[in-house]
Amino acid sequence: MRAAPRYEIRKNDKFGRYLVAARDLRSGETVLSDNAFVLGPHGDSSLVCFNCFLPLISKFVCCKACGVTPVCPGDGCPPELIKWHDEEECSLFLKYKEKGLSAMKMVQNVNGLGVLRAVLKKQRDPRGWRDFMELESHLDQRRNTNVWDCNENTVKGVELSLEKQGQKLLLHVCIACESGIPLFELANFRAPAKLTRARLCSS
């Protein structure tokens, strides 16, 4: 017999999608679990490896393939951790290295990493991208605010790599990553990281 659903997904014109308990839930009961859609560091976090998200305490090296992505020095990232800097991302960064993308620009605009990774999903994971784009960004309400200015700066930092996407789409992605979703401290990464989940409707 199939277990009764724990929650229902509802939608509100003002707040977007949200969950409502479908039955009484026990204390400590898991309501849902999912894989991350994209992962990127907070803008105010200390420097982390863009591949495994361990903190880079004193120094970093660049990915040997693209030459711009900060990664763990020495023996590299621990093998047991999930790796996020994949071949497609690496190829993108390598392509735009010739147009001025550098490790220092990546470090100075860490918010842009999540935006870059989210837009890459547009072709790689159309279903996840569709769900992600349903997240509320409240673009008009955020215009002319400090949050808007911050996100405009982030967009300027990634437009070089995503020049065909359009500023409005990038702002939507940026604000959805920054403000439209919960932020989680991921203990297994031992560093502040931003977890974007866009698969609530996939189960």
| Per-residue pLDDT tens over the stretch 62-116 | 999 999 899 998 888 999 988 889 998 898 888 878 877 788 888 887 778 888 8
For the cut 80, the answer to whether the pLDDT of residue 138 exceeds it is: no
Average pLDDT on 133-140 reads 75
Instruction: State the burial class of residue 146 (Cβ atoms within 10 Å of its Cβ: 0-12, 13-18, 19+).
Output: exposed
CA distance linking residue 13 with residue 7, whole number of Å: 19
Residue 158: per-residue pLDDT: 67
Q: What is the pLDDT of residue 197?
A: 35
What's residue 70's pLDDT?
92
The pLDDT assigned to 180 comes to 45
The pLDDT value given to residue 15? 67
What is residue 71's predicted lDDT score, i.e. its pLDDT?
A: 93
Q: Is residue 10 predicted with pLDDT exceeding 60?
A: yes
| Sequential DSSP letters for the chain | -PPPPSEEEEEETTTEEEEEESS---TT--------SEEE--TTSPPB-TTT--B--S--EE-TTTS-SEE--TT-S-TTS-----HHHHHHHHHHHTTT--HHHHHHTTHHHHHHHHHHHHHH-HHHHHHHHTS---HHHHTTSHHHHHHHHHHHHHTTT-TTS-HHHHHHHHHHHHTSS---EEGGGTEE-EEE---TT--
Please say if the pLDDT value at position 201 is more than 50: no
pLDDT surpassing 70 at residue 1: no
Q: Which residue has the tokens 């976090």?
A: 45
Query: What residue segments make up the domains of the chain, in order of their start?
Result: 7-24+31-196
Asked if residue 4 has pLDDT above 60, the reply is: yes
pLDDT of residue 179: 54
CB distance 180 to 138 below 8 Å = yes
Q: What is the pLDDT of residue 51?
A: 92
CA dist 199 → 1, 33, 88, 135 (Å): 25, 10, 22, 11
What is the average pLDDT across 11-21?
79
Confidence check: pLDDT of 45 > 80: no
**pTM to 2 decimal places:** 0.71
pLDDT at 167: 72
| Per-residue exposure over 103-139, b if at least 16 CB sit within 10 Å of its own CB, e if not | beebeebbbbbbbbbbbbbbeebeebbebbeebbbbe
pLDDT on residue 196: 39
Backbone dihedral angles phi then psi of residue 154, each to the nearest 5 degrees = -65, -45
**Type of residue at 95:** K
Of 62-71, 114-123, 151-160, 177-186, the range with the lowest mean pLDDT is 177-186
CB 103, CB 70: distance < 8 Å: yes
101 is written with which tokens?
A: 């993308």
